Structure 1
Amino acid sequence: MQSTVNYLWHTDDLLGQGATASVYKARNKKSGELVAVKVFNTASYLRPHEVQVREFEVLRKLNHQNIVKLFAVEETGGSRQKVLVMEYCSSGSLLSVLESPENAFGLPEEEFLVVLRCVVAGMNHLRENGIVHRDIKPGNIMRLMGEEGQSIYKLTDFGAARELDDDEKFVSVYGTEEYLHPDMYERAVLRKPQQKTFGVTVDLWSIGVTLYHAATGSLPFIPFGGPRRNKEMMYRITTEKPAGAIAGAQRRENGPLEWSYSLPVTCRLSVGLQTQLVPILANILEVEQAKCWGFDQFFAETSDILQRVVVHVFSLSQAVLHHVYIHAHNTIAIFLEAVYEQTQVAPQHQEYLFEGHLCILEPSLSAQHIAHTTTSSPLTLLSTASETPKGLAFRDPAQDIPKFFPKVDLQSDYTTSKVRGGAGGSNHKTPQISQKPARLSQRCHTPNVVVGLCLPIPQPCPFSVLPWRFSSVSGTPEIEEVKRVTELKSRLRALAEALSRCSHRITETQLRLSNLSSELLKNRDQVHADRSIQKIQCCLDKMNLIYKQFKKSKMRPGLGYNEEQIHKLDKVNFSRLAKRLLKVFQEKCVQKYQTSLVTHGMWMREVHETRNHLRMVSCSMAAHNTEAQGVQESLSKILDRLSNQLLQDRAKEAQVSPSPAAPYPSPALTDLVFHMQELCNEMKLLAFDLQDNNRIIEGLNTPPSGS
């Protein structure tokens, strides 16, 4: 046990150790509050006095939620070693988070954004106080869980920090070699004499490497054999990196350098966030300090990301969920262009559903009018252009699983088990992630949505066969009117038959869509009943136990004979579990996912054909409606003339004595007018049906109020 006046700790409670100090978990003697104490060793006192006191002075000057707080500076009782009493972060460091196998390919998007927000805020506070950290890395970013369960990251370890204005330079070298700016690396690691001075932008390089590590789970610059074993090649990669490249690797011994200008496909960040992040990484991972961004631009660009809102868009044509980052003050036209960049669906071909309802996004309106979305309740994007669903892009996991070296190498075995466990975790997540698009597409393929787009059109009332008695009589104006009525009746009957055919075709389409919907539901039930994910999880659990044992072994100076034999057996078992996991993934999960994509493609083709058909029906309905209105007007005019003629004849009969017979008897004219009225009523019913059907069809492309 060791102690100061107010704090007590055990040397077994080691949190971290460096060249000049060790950090322990300690308790306040009176309150029992947990704190972290940094105890300086003998080597630290060999430094100049101003360097020794620099960390105390820097921490006293800082006060920010994203920087570990300094509570007190005390001394141990016997040796009178200096002790910094600081805030205790119970969740370890960002490095410990990244060392978890589930994060072997980087943090999930929500957690990465938390890291970005906290690091940017903490660094902004440092620059406001004129301080350069000089040792930014995941191990110096601590994690604390907030009262509401959220992650809070804090910068720590200011042993290398010093006050420095933006235009000042320094010549001393500090930091961890994988995260060092190449100019500092050349002198500190390669021990090459050079007279370069360094500015505050060296922190930006370290931030770039740290953010890349957090986003991908690996370092951006990797020579063959690793950075610590191939230092000259490490320096070459960082200094020969082309402009715009954010990563470089040497895959084989003495092999060529391969450059990357984007994040790897295994990265868990959405395409939308990657699009925003990559330019920042490219401009702070710049070797020439004159070309590297300054902090002002870095803060401006990162704040731009953090101020954006996310609109979740599920693309039916791709069967992929997209995250579209936009500002609330942007117009919807900008949002549509952003969707195009991610989906290649042009704005004029984009149609949207939200919670089962069609909605139209007016390009001139503010993006604030877009509904609030989540990953489980996104906007659903339909493309008016027929496309074959592409599905998720993921690498064959076999490419990401390195093999163990035959000999026992504790560090190498630990690293290999971490990567292989991470690849297994990726295999476990891929079928889970692929089920989400499947569930979303199934929601869009239910009768309430897509089948609902094809609403049944009401059947028109069939025309009764009117007993036209005078169809063979000709020669009088009235009879000519009767012929005109007969022609109009034939046109109306043709319209009714066309309407009936359209209704029948839509009903058939409904039936096909309903059958496909049943098939999708059946496939979903089969996915739920499948045990592949459980089998993968079982393998992962066993692999994780071995990984934890390798992690413990790595911290030891060596293994005894028996322990080494057990270690070798663990390597064999780990490889066997990895192969079993890979087999389940390739033979079960991938096959089922590809089958679901085929079914989804059938759905999309049916929906596309149905919507095109509905558009044609809509145009036809509009034309029929116009024609029906014309027929109605003609019939009304004819009926008015016949009715007037009938009234005039009756008036004459009442005023004049009986006279020779008229060309046709009055009862016949009365009968004609009666049937004309029936025809008008039927025509009105047909016109009503046409208008109603047209409204239904138009409703397919019109959002409900409030969408």
Structure 2
Amino acid sequence: MQSTASYLWHTDDLLGQGATASVYKARNKKSGELVAVKVFNTASYLRPREVQEREFEVLRKLNHQNIVKLFAVEETGGSRQRVLVMEHCSGGSLLSVLESPENAFGLSEDEFLVVLRCVVAGVNHLRENGVVHRDIKPGNIMRLVGREGQSVYKLTDFGAARQLLDDEKFVSVYGTEEYLHPDMYERAVLRKPQQKTFGVTVDLWSIGVTLYHAATGSLPFVPYGGPRRNKEIMYRITTEKPSGAIAGTQRRENGPLEWSYALPVTCRLSMGLQGQLVPILANILEVEPAKCWGFDQFFAETSDILQRITVHVFSLSQAVLHHVYIHAHNTVAVFLEAVCEQTSVGPRQQEYFFEGHPCVLEPSVSAQHIAHTTASSPLTLFSAASETPKGLAFRDPALDIPKFIPKVDLQADYNAAKGMLGAGYQALRLARAMLHAQELMLRGLHWVVEVLQTTCRRTLEVTRTALLFLSSSLGTERPDSAAETPTPQELQGAAELRSRLRTLAEVLSRCSQNITETQASLSRLGAELAKRQAQVHADRSTQQIQCCLDKMNLIYKQFKKSRMSPGLGYNEEQIHKLDKVNFSHLAKRLLQVFQEDCVHKYQASLVTHGKWMREVHKTRNHLRLVGCSVAACNTEAQGAQESLSKILDQLLQDKAKGAQASPPSTAPHPSPAPQDLALHMQELCCEMKLVAFDLQDNNRIIERLGKVTSVPDA
């Protein structure tokens, strides 16, 4: 046990160890509060006095929620060693988070944004106080778990920090070699004499490497054999890196250097966030000072990301979930253009559904009025352009699974188990993403089918109402004797009118039949969708993968414990061998479930989804044609009404002239009075006006429906 006047700790409770100090978990003697104590070793006292005092001075000056707090500076009772008493972060370091198999391919998007926000805020506080850290890396970023389980990351270890303004330089070299700026690496690691001085922007290089590591789970610059084994190639990669590249690797011994300008496909960040992050990484991982950003631009660009809101959009045509990052003060038009950048679907071709209903987005309104979305409840984008669904892009986890070596090597076995487990967690995430994508595909198609069914019902109602009025008008017969009164021209006009009305009725009848057939087709598709949804909900492949992972985790923890021991006894070694066999079997079973039950079903669902999408597009286009036909009927009805009005007006004028020119005569068979014939024609005209007005109203309804059912202009 070790102690100061106020704190007590055991040397077994080691939290971390560096070249000049060790950090232990300690308790306040009075309150029992957990703290972290940094105890300096003998080597630290060999440094100049001003260097020893520097960390104390820097920590006393800083006060920020993303900087580990300094509570006190005390001395141990016996050796009178100086001890820094600091805030205890129960979540370990960012490095320990990244070394967990769950994060073998980087952090989740939400957690990465927390890291970005905290690191940017902490570094900004350093710059406001004229401090350069000089050793920023995941191991020096601590994680505090809040009361609600949220993560808070804090910068720590200011042993290399010093006061430095933006225009000042320094010559001393500190830091961890994988995260060092190349100029510092050349002198500190390669031991090459050079007279370069360094400025505050060396922290930006370290931040870039740290953010890449957090996003991908691996370092950006990796020579064959690793950074610590091939230092000359490591230096070559960082200094020869083309402008804009964010990573470089050497895959085989003496092989060529390969450059990357994007994050790997295994990265868990969405393409929307990657599109915002990659330019920042490219501009702070620049060796030449003239090309590298300064802190002002770095803070401006990262703050721009952190101030954006995320709108989740599932493209039904592509079968891909997109994360669209925009500012709340942007207009919907900006959002539509951002969607276009990610989906290649033009704003005029974008139609949206949300929670089962069409969602009309007015381009001129503020984006903050867009519905609140999540990955489980996104906006569903329906594009008028038909395309083959591309689905989720992924790398087969089997390609990243290492194998155990035959002999017992505790460290090698631990590393292999960790790699297998990491690939297993990646398979689980992919399996869940595939299952979720199938749910979104089926849900979105179900909504589209429901809207089309509603359109069919309304259009059918409109068509049948029009047919009823037309049938009523065509069934009205005037007395045969009235034919003696109208002129031949009037008779010809009436006959043409009736012919046009019959044609109109026939067209509407065919429309009614087509709509009925379309309804039946949509009902069959709806039944298939419901059946498939039930199958997806009953899928248990992810549970099977999780079960394998749970069993693998138990063995992995044992391997992690065993690697710390000097060796194993005979019985323990036999158990270790059996555990290796069981671990391999579980990994094989996990991959089998992933390939056969997840990937195979997902790929089949994409093919089926493409077929259903083509059917839906065909149905939409068919309904558009039907709507055009009904609209044409409306135009015909209006024309018929106008013609009927002219015939009636002419008939009334002729009868009025006839009554004035000659007195009435007695006919052998009485004929209907002119006023009776006029009355009959007037009734027919009124009925046709009703038909025209009703069809005109129906046409307006169809035009409104057309906004949803018709194919927009490209």
Between the aligned partners of 1:137 and 1:558, the Cα distance in structure 2 is: 33
Aligned to 2:676: 670
Between the aligned partners of 2:247 and 2:569, the Cα distance in structure 1 is: 40
Determine whether 1:267 maps to 2:275.
Answer: no
Asked if the contact 1:621–1:690 (Cα under 8 Å) also holds between the matched residues in 2, the reply is no
Asked if the contact 1:445–1:451 (Cα under 8 Å) also holds between the matched residues in 2, the reply is no
Q: If the length of structure 2 is used for normalisation, what is the TM-score?
A: 0.92
Between the aligned partners of 1:429 and 1:699, the Cα distance in structure 2 is: 40
Between the aligned partners of 1:409 and 1:243, the Cα distance in structure 2 is: 42
Determine whether 1:493 maps to 2:502.
Answer: yes
Q: How does 1:530-679 map to 2 (within 5 A)?
A: 530-556=539-565, 559=568, 563-642=572-651, 658-661=664-667, 665-667=671-673, 670=676, 673-674=679-680, 677-678=683-684
Gaps of 5+ in 1: none
Between the aligned partners of 1:527 and 1:602, the Cα distance in structure 2 is: 18
Aligned to 1:124: 124
Asked if the contact 1:134–1:174 (Cα under 8 Å) also holds between the matched residues in 2, the reply is yes
What is the one-letter code of the residue matched to 2:115?
A: V
What is the one-letter code of the residue matched to 1:463?
A: S
Q: Equivalent residue of 2:501, what SS?
A: helix
Aligned to 1:209: 209
Aligned to 1:463: 471
Flag the 1:57–1:454 CA change in 2: closer, same or farther, 3 A: farther
Aligned to 1:344: 344
Flag the 1:477–1:467 CA change in 2: closer, same or farther, 3 A: closer
Asked if the contact 1:66–1:152 (Cα under 8 Å) also holds between the matched residues in 2, the reply is yes
Aligned to 2:97: 97
Stretch moving more, 106-115 or 494-503 = 494-503
TM superposition shift of 1:699? 2.4
Q: Equivalent residue of 1:13, what SS?
A: strand
TM superposition shift of 1:556? 4.5
Flag the 1:230–1:452 CA change in 2: closer, same or farther, 3 A: farther
Q: Equivalent residue of 2:90, what SS?
A: coil
Q: How does 1:245-394 map to 2 (within 5 A)?
A: 245-394=245-394
Q: How does 1:168-179 map to 2 (within 5 A)?
A: 168-179=168-179
Asked if the contact 2:641–2:688 (Cα under 8 Å) also holds between the matched residues in 1, the reply is no
Q: Equivalent residue of 1:445, what SS?
A: helix
Aligned to 1:451: 453
Between the aligned partners of 1:160 and 1:250, the Cα distance in structure 2 is: 31
Stretch moving more, 234-243 or 692-701 = 692-701
TM superposition shift of 1:87? 0.9
Aligned to 1:685: 691
Q: Equivalent residue of 1:701, what SS?
A: helix
Aligned equivalent of 2:527, options 504, 518, 529: 518
TM superposition shift of 1:531? 2.5
Flag the 1:169–1:453 CA change in 2: closer, same or farther, 3 A: farther
* Aligned sequence identity (%): 74
Between the aligned partners of 2:105 and 2:384, the Cα distance in structure 1 is: 36
Asked if the contact 1:414–1:547 (Cα under 8 Å) also holds between the matched residues in 2, the reply is yes
Q: Equivalent residue of 1:448, what SS?
A: helix
Flag the 1:471–1:608 CA change in 2: closer, same or farther, 3 A: farther
Gaps of 5+ in 2: 710-714
Between the aligned partners of 1:313 and 1:700, the Cα distance in structure 2 is: 23
What is the one-letter code of the residue matched to 1:505?
A: N
Asked if the contact 2:483–2:491 (Cα under 8 Å) also holds between the matched residues in 1, the reply is no
Between the aligned partners of 2:112 and 2:669, the Cα distance in structure 1 is: 95
Q: Equivalent residue of 1:11, what SS?
A: strand
Between the aligned partners of 1:663 and 1:131, the Cα distance in structure 2 is: 118
Q: Equivalent residue of 1:170, what SS?
A: coil
What is the one-letter code of the residue matched to 2:127?
A: R
Asked if the contact 1:315–1:321 (Cα under 8 Å) also holds between the matched residues in 2, the reply is yes
Flag the 1:557–1:212 CA change in 2: closer, same or farther, 3 A: farther
TM superposition shift of 1:391? 0.9
Asked if the contact 1:66–1:119 (Cα under 8 Å) also holds between the matched residues in 2, the reply is yes
Stretch moving more, 450-459 or 41-50 = 450-459
TM superposition shift of 1:642? 4.1
Asked if the contact 1:636–1:680 (Cα under 8 Å) also holds between the matched residues in 2, the reply is no
Asked if the contact 1:618–1:698 (Cα under 8 Å) also holds between the matched residues in 2, the reply is no
Asked if the contact 1:318–1:390 (Cα under 8 Å) also holds between the matched residues in 2, the reply is yes
Q: If the length of structure 1 is used for normalisation, what is the TM-score?
A: 0.93
Aligned equivalent of 1:698, options 692, 698, 704: 704
Q: How does 1:109-148 map to 2 (within 5 A)?
A: 109-148=109-148
Between the aligned partners of 2:476 and 2:155, the Cα distance in structure 1 is: 91
Flag the 1:402–1:679 CA change in 2: closer, same or farther, 3 A: farther
TM superposition shift of 1:138? 1.0
What is the one-letter code of the residue matched to 1:322?
A: H
1:406-465 C-alpha deviation (Å, 9 max, x unpaired): 455544443332232121111112121122222222222225345335444211315143
Between the aligned partners of 1:255 and 1:564, the Cα distance in structure 2 is: 39
Between the aligned partners of 1:238 and 1:274, the Cα distance in structure 2 is: 22
Between the aligned partners of 2:587 and 2:599, the Cα distance in structure 1 is: 16
Determine whether 1:193 maps to 2:202.
Answer: no
Between the aligned partners of 1:702 and 1:508, the Cα distance in structure 2 is: 20
Q: Equivalent residue of 2:12, what SS?
A: strand
Aligned to 2:712: none
Between the aligned partners of 2:415 and 2:495, the Cα distance in structure 1 is: 90
TM superposition shift of 1:673? 3.8
Asked if the contact 1:646–1:670 (Cα under 8 Å) also holds between the matched residues in 2, the reply is no
Between the aligned partners of 2:56 and 2:572, the Cα distance in structure 1 is: 44
Flag the 1:248–1:550 CA change in 2: closer, same or farther, 3 A: farther
Flag the 1:74–1:555 CA change in 2: closer, same or farther, 3 A: same
Q: Equivalent residue of 2:196, what SS?
A: coil
Asked if the contact 1:455–1:696 (Cα under 8 Å) also holds between the matched residues in 2, the reply is no
Asked if the contact 1:9–1:26 (Cα under 8 Å) also holds between the matched residues in 2, the reply is yes
Between the aligned partners of 1:139 and 1:200, the Cα distance in structure 2 is: 20
What is the one-letter code of the residue matched to 1:269?
A: L
TM superposition shift of 1:256? 1.9
1:464-489 C-alpha deviation (Å, 9 max, x unpaired): 43335559968x75453243233223
Flag the 1:40–1:664 CA change in 2: closer, same or farther, 3 A: farther
The root-mean-square deviation of aligned C-alpha atoms, in Å, is 2.7
Asked if the contact 1:360–1:702 (Cα under 8 Å) also holds between the matched residues in 2, the reply is no
Aligned to 1:157: 157
Flag the 1:225–1:510 CA change in 2: closer, same or farther, 3 A: farther
Aligned to 2:441: 441
